[in-house]
A = this chain, B = another copy of it.
Amino acid sequence: MTEQSSRWDVFEFSANGPTEGNPYLEVSFAATFSLDNRQVTVPGFYDGEGVYKVRFCPDTEGEWSFATTSSAKPLAGLKGRLSVGPARANVNGPVRVRNQFHFAHADGKPYLPFGTTCYAWTHQPEALQEQTLKTLAESPFNKIRMGVFPKDYIYNTNEPLYDVYEKRADGSHDMDRPNFECFRHFETQIGRLMDMGIEADIILFHPYDRWGYCTMTEEQDFRYLRYIVARIAAYRNVWWSLANEYDFLLDTKPMERWDRFFHIIEEGDPLRHPKSIHNGDVDKNYDHRKPWVDHVCIQNWDVKKTLAWREASGKPVINDEPEYEGNIAKEWGNISGHELVNRYWLTLCRGGYIGHGETFLDDADELWWAKGGVLRGEAVSRIAFLRKIFEEDAANGLTPLMERGSTFKRVSAVADGEVRYIYFSEHQPVEWALGLPEKDGDYEIDLIDVWNMTVSPLEKAALPKVHPQRITGGSHITNQFAAAFGLKLPGRPFLAVRIRPRRKH
């Protein structure tokens, strides 16, 4: 009999096998899926009570067949057929790097990451998790950073909904015995995000731990990683974030182990989901130039460096922790919404991407950044506005214009094909020319107030006055503008300008 599925959906095959001993340690299980002469092997996993599963995300329509392999006789040589139809509506496939510095879904639809952060939301009480999903559904966010393990940290002292590994009588955890219910719940939530069109940026390790999850042996780390990859790699919305603040774990997990982690993921992930790793100390970034890293994921408040990060890595830059909007006593968790919005515009208008988080003091210790719940900040609505602006014309990705003139480095400007955006942040010129088109044309020009969320048309104006002559005396500065026309601006800060060819109506 032939199973039915759709392109980019999760196909799951289950079989019963041995229960004796510790199947997690002892039983290997995998399946190879074939389409004509093409073969894709995916690892399987033990899900408790003698149930073994493989999950497969078909990237191609057609009549697939599959066969299992296993160290356990009853699980070996099982065969089946899978008929894969077209992707369902609004299913665009996994996100990949495209055009070096940008992302798109497998079907080519541009993907601009607008992520938020709820590190331990799946470990909170069910009601709070439902609230988090409800909030996300109404939010501008299309990606969320979330940890496999619970969090032990300031404002995060409650016990998780489920232990990740089985608890022994003495209260310690047996890192050789997964709590299958915990993993099933975790992937259920990944699936719900998938159905909402939200990418799940899965944080595999982090240092904020009192259960021993971050001090497992190397063997246990590797086994855990193979297991989680086997369980969730078939979800099209998964991203791999090897760690949150990996550098705070370096004395228990040396650098070679992190490199190996990347390899293990690649071994079990035929879809090749985006992989990166996140630093704690701004001076301790992992070397994102290593070939197995797909994009730069950093924590850094100094977003004007976005150009430098692009150039150093040659990869997409996502600043996942440019400091959080909030009011707590921690330096990383108390910037104003206004400043976070400013950092969003600065980052996008320098060709990078940036993530969101909120840390407002709460009597119940329900801070969005770790537990989810509700959003309270002033930035969210402005991020929704910004996302709408940039998705309107998103094509191949935003490329900085700023290097074009040596005097053009402080105001942010990018272009995607013929569409340009200039963001002035703290600058407030009343006339402007840098970054404007060098050849004249029928342009639609808009002034964008990034905080008040208004878009109003602008007319071309004369170029700003330039000095009648070049500067002498060895200076290479010139006051000439390359632009074909200038603009008159209101002379207040936190404005942007969008220039695009006028649309034919």
Contact = CB atoms under 8 A, between A and B. Distances in A.
A502 interface: no
Nearest to A216: B473
Contacts of A429: 327-329, 334
Contacts of A8: none
Contact of A434 (B331, B408, B411): B331
Within the oligomer, what is the number of copies of this chain?
2
B411 A331 contact: yes
Contacts of A355: none
Contacts of A475: 207-208, 245, 248-249
Interface in A433-488: 433-434, 464-469, 471-477, 479, 481, 486
Interface string A406-437: 01111100000000000000111111111000
A311 to B, nearest CB: 14
Contact of A472 (B215, B464, B491): B215
A492 interface: yes
Contacts of A302: 304
Per DSSP, chain A at the interface is loop
Interface residues of A, number: 69
A293 to B, nearest CB: 22
Contacts of A301: 410
A250 B267 CA distance: 56
A335 interface: yes
Interface stretch (A109-117, A152-160, A170-178): A152-160
Given A157-B467, A332-B410, A410-B332, A473 B214 contact: yes
Contacts of A154: 465-467, 479
A256 interface: no
Contact of A214 (B152, B332, B407, B472): B472
Interface of A: 152-155, 157, 207-210, 213-215, 245, 248-253, 280, 301-302, 304, 323, 327-332, 334-336, 338-339, 361, 407-411, 426-434, 464-469, 471-477, 479, 481, 486, 491-493
Given A207-B471, A329-B433, A334-B429, 16 more contacts: A152-B467, A208-B473, A210-B469, A215-B474, A248-B473, A252-B473, A301-B410, A327-B428, A328-B431, A329-B432, A329-B434, A331-B407, A331-B427, A335-B426, A336-B426, A339-B426
8 contacts: A157-B468, A207-B473, A208-B473, A209-B473, A210-B469, A215-B472, A302-B304, A329-B434
